Amino acid sequence: MTISIDNKTETLVTITDEALEQLKQILSEEEGTNLALRIFVQGSRAAMTLDDTEREGDVVMDFDGMRVLVDDESAPYLAGAVISYQNTLMERGFVIENANLPQSGGGCCGGSCGCGGH
């Protein structure tokens, strides 16, 4: 899914294969068949949570059968973001790399997301 910002077209969000596999596993373990991954900006940080409600103005994307939701206010700040999964000796979890927001450490947004992947 691409969006246009300041007359420039950008990919909104990219999810690496390993992150997609991990996210699908988390979704399969949750109750509710209508769950999607919601990516949003809170303060100056990107965050993720599971959500079953598609809101007016949401950008809705499909990643190999997994729905991803981004609200219209967060979309410009998330343009070009890459979600990856780290599994190293020191860290395990999701990382949202985004040049539009300041970086924070500790997996997905410093461990503040609700995705359960830490």
Host domain of residue 106: 2-111
At 50, which amino acid appears? L
Structurally, the chain folds into a number of domains equal to 1
> Within 10 A of 77 (CB to CB), how many other CB atoms are there?
17
* pLDDT interval class at 55 (50, 70, 90): very high
pLDDT at position 8, please?
52
* Integer Cα distance of 94 and 2 in angstroms: 22
Q: Is residue 30 part of a domain?
A: yes
Asked if residue 78 lies in contact with residue 39, where contact means CB atoms within 8 angstroms, the answer is yes
Q: Is residue 15 part of a domain?
A: yes
Q: Is residue 118 part of a domain?
A: no
Q: Is residue 50 part of a domain?
A: yes
Look at phi and psi of residue 17 and say left if phi exceeds 0, alpha if psi is from -120 to 50, else beta: alpha
Looking up residue 9, the CATH number of its domain turns out to be 2.60.300.12
Q: Is residue 117 part of a domain?
A: no
What is the reported pTM?
A: 0.75
